Amino acid sequence: MKICVSKSYGEKCVFENFALEVEEGEILCVLGESGGGKTTLLNILAGLIPYEGEVCGVPKDVAYIFQEPRLLPNLTVEQNLLYAGGRYEFIEEILQKTEILDKRDRRPKELSGGEKQRVAIARAFVSDAPLLLLDEPFSSLDTARKIRLATLFAALWKEKKKTAVFVTHDIEEAWMLANRVVVLKGGRIAADIRVQGDIPRKFGEGLEVKEKLLNVLLG
Amino acid sequence: MSKIDGKQLKKILFKNVAAVLIAAAVLVVVWIVAHAAVGNDLLLPDFFDCMRQVGVLLKDGGFWLAFWHTLSRVLIAFVFSFALALIFALIAYMVPWFCRILSPAVSMLRSLPTLAVLLIVLVWAGAAKAPIVVAFMTLFPSLYAGILAALSQVDGELLEMSRVYKVSMKKRVLQLYIPSAAPYVLREAGAALAFALKLIVSAEVLANTWKSLGGLMQEAKLFYEMPTLFALVVLTFVVGLALEILGAITAFFVERRVK
């Protein structure tokens, strides 16, 4: 998947001839400061906003895990998955894997923040979409929940091997989940680093990689 | 329904019923005092005479026939206005150019002096149908605007999610748009139903529609049967209030279900 785009919001230029290549089956993490264009990049890939330039090889169907779970309040967990195109025969399995099978008939208001985000993850994985977009999906969660959900995400990803573009401002999240980290700075790629090892990597480890990323961010 | 729902409902009902009862009691006191001050039954009949007349009307088959004719006109005008407003608002919401085209026509309908137009419609449609046409001309633009406003309040983030997951339009309408807009639309509809009654009765009075509440009022006025005239006004008011309360209760339950 190749991206070469320019994007402005009025006078403000977010990207100018921004080029990025995403390999099939990898988890690419786009790391950057808030307001640096990370969400814009995902929205371009999802076809939600207009842009100038070219995006090649993006599949027709994409799944998107937003910062907020974005569940329909009037529908149950199961109905929310069906609403987004989830196939009925796979729902029980995905709910079991995301450990919310007992919540299938609950409405979002009856769920905790972490459970809602699990539903959002289940919704993304139950769809046939080969590309997953993740917009800081764990940013509103506490550390324990963040680790649990990152572990869950990694387990599901290993099974389905979908290509994933994951944006975050959190170096720890990037370390835990990414195969490759791209640091976004001023609308350009400031660093492109491959991270070795099986995911999910242990929280708190990988000091060398994290220091490298931090130096790029601060530099 | 959970215990909390029941408690909340009781509280809301109590508050509303208490408010209505207090308002009604104040009106009765004002009426009795005003009657004593005016001292002329032709200008302002006695409250108790009027209530006796309400009793007489409620036992009279002719009243119920007139009531049914008026109510059926109200329902026809309301259903027709609501259905068309819903369809047009949904299309206008999804197709911006349709909204732009419809906007001047809706504004024109809104600014028409309704009861003056009644005189023209009376010639075209006759006394039985003219009130329906006039009520439609008033209800349609306000319901259309209300439904359109309710639709534009649908959560933008959920719409974005629906776009990403390529949710079909049918699913979006049935599971996102309608449930999100329903509480506001129902509240609007409840008020519109009560307003339709007011409009229909006013138009019937002007058109002197035969066998209708408005027609009975016109007849009572012609023969200076003031207690009957006031009794008819009171009964119309009570029916209007009941319709509005019915709409509010339905909206409350739908809102609980949706949110």
Q: Which domains does chain B have, with CATH numbers?
A: 60-258 (1.10.3720.10)
Residue B4: the pLDDT is 52
Please report where in the chains the tokens 């149908």 appear, as a residue.
Answer: B129
Q: Look at chain A and report how many structural domains it folds into.
A: 2
Residues A120, A139: one domain? Answer: no
Residue B186: the pLDDT is 82
Residue B258: which of A66, A73, A85 has the nearest Cβ? A73
b/e map of A90-102 (b: 16 or more CB within 10 Å)? ebeebbebbebbe
Residues A92, A54: one domain? Answer: no
**B211/B229 Cα distance (integer angstroms):** 15
Residue B1: the pLDDT is 40
Residue A20, burial from CB neighbour count under 10 angstroms (0-12, 13-18, 19+): buried
Residues A152, A200: one domain? Answer: yes
Residues A192, A139: one domain? Answer: yes
pLDDT one-digit tens code per residue, B181-207:
888 888 788 888 888 998 899 999 988
Residues A40, A134: one domain? Answer: yes
Q: What does the mean pLDDT of chain A come to?
A: 91
Is residue B3 over pLDDT 60? no
Residue B8: the pLDDT is 73
pLDDT one-digit tens code per residue, A50-87:
999 999 988 989 999 999 999 999 999 999 999 998 88
Residue B158: which of A61, A63, A72 has the nearest Cβ? A72
Is residue B2 over pLDDT 70? no
Assigned domain for A219 exists: no
Residues A18, A8: one domain? Answer: yes
CATH number at residue A15: 3.40.50.300
A66/chain B closest Cα distance in angstroms: 8
Residues A17, A109: one domain? Answer: no
Is residue B135 over pLDDT 60? yes
Phi and psi of A57, rounded to 5°?
80, 10
Assigned domain for A24 exists: yes
Mutation to test the A interface, candidates B159, B164, B167, most A Cβ within 10 Å: B164
Question: Is pLDDT larger for residue B177 or for residue B256?
Answer: B177
Residues lower than pLDDT 70 in chain A: none
Residue B165: which of A73, A79, A127 has the nearest Cβ? A127
Residues A143, A203: one domain? Answer: yes
What token pair was written down for A108?
């979002």
Residue A145: the pLDDT is 84
**A24/A31 Cα distance (integer angstroms):** 19
Given A129, A150, A171, which residue is the final one in a domain? A129
Assigned domain for A164 exists: yes
Of all residues in chain B, the one with the smallest CA distance to A76 is: B258
Assigned domain for A34 exists: yes
Q: Which of chain B's residues have a Cβ under 8 Å away from the Cβ of A85?
A: 165-167
Is residue B14 over pLDDT 80? no
Q: What is the pTM of this model?
A: 0.75
- CB–CB contacts below 8 A, A to B: 47
Whether B135 and B200 have beta carbons less than 8 Å apart is answered as: yes
Q: If pLDDT is split at 50, 70 and 90, which confidence band does B128 have?
A: confident
**B97/B93 Cα distance (integer angstroms):** 10
**Does any CB of chain B come closer than 8 Å to the CB of residue A207?**
no
% of chain B surpassing 70 pLDDT: 96
Residues A135, A50: one domain? Answer: yes
**Does any CB of chain B come closer than 8 Å to the CB of residue A63?**
yes
Provide the domain limits for residue A163: 1-59+130-209
